[in-house]
Amino acid sequence: MKIKNICCIGAGYVGGPTMAVIAQKCPEINVTVVDINEKRIAAWNDKDVENIPIYEPGLSKVVDEARGRNLFFSADVDKAIDQAEMIFISVNTPTKAYGMGKGMAADLKFIELCARQIARVSTSDKIVIEKSTLPVRTAEALKNILENTGNGVNYQILSNPEFLAEGTAVEDLMDPDRVLIGGDIDTEKGKEAVEALVNVYAHWVPKERILTTNVWSSELSKLTANAFLAQRVSSINAMSELCEKTGADVNEVAKAVGMDSRIGSKFLKSSVGFGGSCFQKDILNLVYIAKSFGLNEVADYWEQVIIMNDHQKRRFAANIVRTLFNTVAGKKIGFLGWAFKKDTNDTRESAAIYVADYLLNEQAEIVVYDPKVKEEQINADLDYLNTRSEKENRQRIKAVNDPYQVSKEAHAVAILTEWDEFKELDRKRIYDEMLKPAFLFDGRNILHQSSQKAIGFKTYIIGENC
């Protein structure tokens, strides 16, 4: 089957970059990314390509090349569905905030709305692709919705989870470790659909890296991959606390352990805790699924990854309070970084939010510098927690455009995101502008303790005995 038109529902962190790369690599296919959020679509269409709504290194260049040629962003969802032979569903699947499974299960209401809209609009056969991360067996529910409309349209449902990481999305999409496609390979039509999607990726991904499986394996592999990745971070973070007590250095431990080729060196960087929109939500979802099958030991095993991560964020914040003579009330604390990792403007579930919330409860005054995050986003992140009034949040936390304003008359500076530019800051200047003793808390393990001490800082580096 030759694909001429692709539609992607959801113009977010996954839909936008993924479709931009498909469009760039497949100039003969028209790719239309649609969203109900008209503001987001307008930003994707902004004349100045630097204003697209997602910051990812290299993304604006890819968008610039394909946009208007065979890459389109539109709020006309019906039209794009109608014209496409292949539809990616790339909408958000947050943790449910109400009802059954509240705080654990994935909220599938946006997915179901998409399925119902596809069912309502379609007049020709469609390949529908789960791009969003979904609980295992969601394809069954989609099939039920799509096939009970009685309009004679044939639907093939594929699972094609996305493994890109933010900050390296373009690189990951251009040169993926693997592309995973789950389909109904026992039927002719199912095989044809899988083949059609394989052919899209084969424009640039070597065939041996395109893996085809049954649908359930594909859905579950995505949750498994995120659980394993997050588990590594929680594992090294658990060791970071032990390092601080024993004089071991977590960087040295990570290096020694990672040199074992069976373990590998990646994803062993100790931190103030993992953030991002997916690790926590996907593990909670996995825990919920395991519990729903009565697999309580499996559920408890994975839940521990989250428990450890919450502990890591909390102990970092508590250590600031303890070190500052057990009170931060009325004290200025400078934050370097707010995004959940470097090279992204995404702040979802960022550790910085939880550390700030803890310190605000202790009545600290916080000043934040992040090269890509604006004050309105910081306010929105704190308001979302609902810990105090919006007014109080705005009185207590401010964002600045210059990293040196963060240290001016601050009692402490904390590094929450590992932006490269923080390594280049004039530390002597920061020290001079701070109140003394000048405390520095490095939640990203980017500083070398010895050079800080020489300047005069009282330093705490995660995973080091200071």
| C-alpha–C-alpha distance, residues 24 and 97, integer Å | 37
- For residue 340, give the amino acid letter: F
* Under 8 Å between Cβ of 194 and 1: no
How many C-beta atoms surround the C-beta of residue 25 within 10 A?
18
Site for ligand UGA (CB under 6 A): which residue of 162, 244, 303, 357?
162
Nearer to ligand UGA, 73 or 274 (CB): 274
Binding mask 229-268 for ligand UGA (x = CB under 6 A): x---x---------------------------------xx
Per-residue binder mask for ligand UGA (CB under 6 A), 315-344, x = binder: -------------------------xx---
Other beta carbons within 10 angstroms of residue 269's beta carbon come to: 19
Segment contacting ligand UGA by CB under 6 A, of 87-95, 188-196, 270-278, 287-295: 270-278
Which residue's structure tokens are 């001079």?
Answer: 432
Residue closest to ligand NAD, measured at CB: 12
For residue 99, give the amino acid letter.
G
Place of tokens 């520095």: 440
Q: Which does 233 bind (CB under 5 to 8 A by kind): ligand NAD, ligand UGA, none?
A: ligand UGA
Contact flag: residue 308 with ligand UGA (CB under 6 A): no
To ligand UGA, the closest distance from the beta carbon of 161 in angstroms equals 8
How far is residue 76's CA from residue 197's CA, in Å, rounded to a whole number? 24
Considering the rule CB under 6 A, would residue 216 count as an interface residue with ligand UGA? no
Q: Which is nearer to ligand NAD, 105 or 278 (CB)?
A: 278
Q: What b-and-e string marks burial along 328-340, b requiring 16 or more CB atoms within 10 Å of the CB? A: beebbbbbbbbbb
Does residue 427 bind ligand UGA (CB under 6 A)? Answer: no
State in angstroms the smallest separation of the CB of 169 from ligand NAD: 7
The answer to whether residue 131 forms part of the interface with ligand UGA (CB under 6 A) is: no
55 binds, among ligand UGA, ligand NAD, none (CB under 5 to 8 A by kind): none
- At 362, list the tokens: 């202790």
167 and 138 Cβ atoms separated by less than 8 Å: no
Closest approach of Cβ 276 to ligand UGA, in Å?
Answer: 3
Distance (Å, whole) CA 393 – CA 396: 5
Residue 182 or 275: the one with the smaller Cβ distance to ligand UGA is 275
Rounded-to-10 torsion of CA 228, 232, 235, 236: 180
Selection from ligand UGA, ligand NAD, none that 10 binds (CB < 5 to 8 A by kind) is ligand NAD
Angle at which helix 375-385 crosses helix 351-361, to 10 degrees, equals 70
* Minimum distance from residue 88 beta carbon to ligand UGA (Å): 15
Nearer to ligand NAD, 271 or 277 (CB): 277
Would you say 36 or 202 has its CB closer to ligand NAD?
A: 36
Residues marked as catalytic: 162, 222, 278
N- to C-terminal Cα distance for the chain?
A: 63
Q: Give the nearer residue to ligand NAD in terms of CB position, either 52 or 320.
A: 52
d(C-alpha 190, C-alpha 166), whole Å: 32
From the list 93, 122, 221, 271, which residue makes contact with ligand UGA (rule: CB under 6 A)?
271
Query: 303 and 287 in contact (C-beta within 8 Å)?
Result: yes
Quick one: what does residue 340 bind among ligand NAD, ligand UGA, none, with the CB cut-off 5 to 8 Å set by partner type?
ligand UGA
Under 8 Å between Cβ of 366 and 392: no
Q: Which residues contact 127 (CB under 8 A, 6 or more apart)?
A: 1, 85, 86, 87, 155, 156, 158, 193, 196, 197
Alpha helices in 93-187 (DSSP H): 109-121, 138-147, 169-174
- Residues forming contacts to ligand NAD in the complex (CB under 6 A) are 9-15, 34-37, 40, 77, 90-93, 110, 113-114, 132-133, 162, 164, 166, 277-278
Q: Answer with the entry of ligand UGA, ligand NAD, none that 441 interacts with (C-beta below 5 to 8 A by kind).
A: none
How many residues belong to the site for ligand UGA (CB under 6 A)?
A: 20
Q: Which of 12/183 has CB closer to ligand NAD?
A: 12
* Spatial separation of the C-alpha atoms in residues 294 and 404, rounded to whole Å: 53
* Residue 138 to residue 140: CA distance in whole angstroms: 5
Tell me how far, at minimum, the Cβ of 94 lies from ligand NAD, in Å: 8
**C-alpha separations of 327 from 11, 318, 365, 402 in Å:** 44, 10, 12, 27
Determine which residue in the list 5, 82, 163, 431 makes contact with ligand UGA, applying CB under 6 A: 163
Q: Which residues bind ligand UGA (CB under 6 A)?
A: 133, 162-166, 226, 229, 233, 267-269, 271, 274-276, 278-279, 340-341
